[in-house]
Structure 1
Amino acid sequence: MNSPATAKPRVAVVFGGRSSEHAISCVTAGAVLDALDRERYDVVPVGIAPDGRWVLESDDTDRLRLTSAERLPHVDGERASVQLLREEGHTDLVVTEASQPPRALGQVDVVFPVLHGPWGEDGTIQGMLEMAGVRYVGAGVLASAVSMDKAYMKVVLEAAGLPVMPGVVITRREWERDPDVCRERVAALGFPVFCKPARGGSSIGISKVHDASELDAAVAEAQRHDPKVLVEVSAEAAREVECGVLEALDGTVETSMPAEIRIGGDHEFYDFAAKYLPAEHTALDVPADLPDDVAARMRELSVRAFEAVGGEGLARVDFFVLPDGRLVVNELNTMPGFTPTSMYPRMWEASGLGYRELVDRLVQLALRRGTGLR
């Protein structure tokens, strides 16, 4: 814990990052910073600029709000640099400014990494924090890495007996060496398909491919964000329903009421604009209108998916409910969208756990959990 002079645990909220989800991470951070109880915690906002530079960010959360696709919030990379410095028995936050000697902010007790996408949600920062001996919120290295890579996640979930949509992986090398073979593998799935970055999120770089003539452009768009592309069968006429998973302080795993996303208007699927920008055609039903047995089955599969990847802390498990009533796991997110209006907190609100209580639970879980093998 922190020093006796500063009895409150110090929580560093780390956000931004190098991925294409930089702006969404900033939005999430603003909500978490507002929710953390300053009477209980010493809170430090730490931003990672798009070039990877760590800075001591402003505590002004108004600048982290998302108001339009043309004005995306971002980390100010010109601010004072921040480093984690490992000392004997503890790790300090050290600030460096031009023409000034380094100054220590003191020991960091917990990092809340609200990073989305590669270089944050994929096990990289988790590995760094493990090496530094700093506790952190959320999944560990392996669960983060497996869940970020949708291709490997499907392998793990399928091996655990969980239902997933059929798909194929196209690497940049395969596409450059023999694109015709790649096209044949996709055609064997049957159209329509979805083409997406294997290690992306927030629906960035995703295209629905209705026939073979649209495939090349879709692969190119996905490769703008990730050289590894996942192509999956489209779950036609399926309902998109999600379920929250959360560890309790006693180590048991709880699930929220499921919630459904209904898309209309010009959105053919749950794309970036439908997720994050105000839209009259996107409806979120919390809780979802599901038969009791289907909801119970979904909650059971959510726990199984969480345990299959070795999840810790929290996760959001996304499902397709097929027209015949079957459930298919679409993906598992170890750091889901986390604003008060995001699906994960809204599901827990409907289940009796408010946003501030949810944030506090996650910090308390991290404080109780050590680093290293467990």
Structure 2
Amino acid sequence: MKARFKYRFYPTTEQKQSLARLFGCVRKVWNDSLALCKQSEKKPSSADLQKIVITQAKKTEERVWLSEVSNIPLQQSVADLETAFKNFFDSCKGKRKGRKVGYPKFKKRTNSQSARFRIGGFSFKNSGVYLAKIGIFQPIWSRELPSEPSSVTVIKDCANRYFLSFVVEVQPVHSDAKNPSIGIDLGIKTFAVMSNGEKAESPSYKKLDRKIRKLQRKLARQPKDSKRRNVTQIKIARFHNRIADTRKDFLHKLSTKVVNENQVIVLEDLNISGMVKNRKLSRAISQQGWREFRTLCEAKSEKFGREFQVISRWAPTSQVCADCGFKWGKIDLSIRSVLCVSCGAEQDRDQNASKNIEKVGMGNRHDSKRAQRDCQTTSVAEPYEASRITAPSGR
């Protein structure tokens, strides 16, 4: 299986100028290719695009500066555009799963910049990495590469940070797990409640989020293309990066712990695109990274030989008692614990849902219909029934 290893580096002033020239050429080739595709009745092939926007363009006075950079990242830019069109067409035809992929867009200078080198365009020299027609970079090697990389991508993000991203082949690691299975219920304040009783609190992003919103109001008042506006944009990007780095560190540590300790990991398929339509919770939901956590668990399960399962979003995990299977029905989000009238057990809402997620994923479901027939009590819990519902607590 393939994996990415990302390292930060600090280029010199001359190297920054060379990278800016490289990013500009790659961006221009992409935009020229996309403009040509829009003008043509039939989409040109990748070979025809390379011939027009690279080979022939270098011979003109307007694009002669394309010869100052390596030809490899320019060809990869056209290949990436071909992949973007393929994903768009497959999404329109229903061949691609997930959300609809939009039509390729033009690249901007203010967005994140990248250029990809395949084998032949980069090499290792001592402790540095040589990129064709640019020079040698000294990345911060936080860990060793497990194998020879097949490609390297040089990245500059919106906060002017530089990274080298290597694609390498990683062998799966098989090890014994402590627990046979685990179910995980994802939330906002308590990010993950697990069926074994453990809880993982999400980092607080409120302080950084307030600073971002304050700077965004300031940005709206500043004139476009002004120096102060550009400085404000960089400040906003840095705060966004701090939130993203904090979230990524938390999700990596939690997913690694979950995968190492459990043989079967069961999550619930959440309708995140529908949940963010709630304007009161959309910002908090977007900051949690539920989908990223699912992706990390799935990738690490494949790496460590674990089984990863996702149950249907329609499974009534929060409406059924995990002990006896009695279905009490839908309850308000403010109600955090329920006293089951069938078995008398007091169930924490999130803990009960995580146990049901594990049972559904493992195929050990209760006979809820039989439990409902044996009990004469109404299935829906009402907030005023103190004997069944305990005091609510914040989530």
TM-score by length of structure 2 reads 0.20
Look at both structures and tell me which one has the larger radius of gyration over its CA atoms.
Answer: 2
TM-score by length of structure 1 reads 0.20
RCO comparison, higher one (Cα < 8 Å, 6+)? 1
